[in-house]
Amino acid sequence: MNEYSVHYPLLTIFGLAVLFLGLKALVLGAATAATRGRIKQFINAEDAAWLKGTHVELDSEAVARIGRAHRNDLENLLVFAIAGAIYLAAGASEIAGIIYSGFYVVARLLHTFAYLSGRPLLRRNAYTLGFFVIAVMAVHAAVVLIIN
């Protein structure tokens, strides 16, 4: 363990959360490409020619669904990373920050599972949980910054 992980466990937890979710987003990106390859349907004509597949104007539903989940991950990870970095810099509660990070990771895992398996109610609830975690974390950081 290095000095930062011993003295700042929130930094370790938050860093691992961002890295894990970033890797999950990369896996979804690779899954999009793999699904295109498996069904031999490509958006780019040069890919279709090179890989001996069909050129299509729109992705199949399977590819489009993975792509939407991937895009949603990227959009939300950026906001979480920025809010979390400000939260860390503000010196807000470590325990609360660890809880926020844990809930956010669980929310995003559930969201991805729900998106890929076609469960709209779970997807909405997981997204809402993640949204509120970021909102509460941001307000918490803002209050700490204003008070200090």
What one-character-per-residue DSSP string does 104-119 give? HHHHHHHHHHHHHHT-
Domain count across the chain: 1
Q: Which of 96, 104, 103 is nearest to 78 (CA)?
A: 104
Q: Which residues pair with 1 in a beta bridge?
A: none
What is the domain-level CATH number for residue 30? 1.20.120.550
Q: Which residue has 């729109």 as its token pair?
A: 58
- Per-residue pLDDT at 82: 97
**Two structure tokens written together for 93:** 């509660």
Walk along the chain (148 residues) and give the pLDDT tens digit of each residue: 556 555 688 999 999 999 999 999 999 999 999 998 899 988 888 988 888 888 888 888 999 999 999 999 999 999 999 999 999 999 999 999 999 999 999 999 999 999 999 999 999 999 999 999 999 999 999 999 999 8
Contact 141, 90 (CB under 8 A): yes
Q: Which domain holds residue 143?
A: 3-147
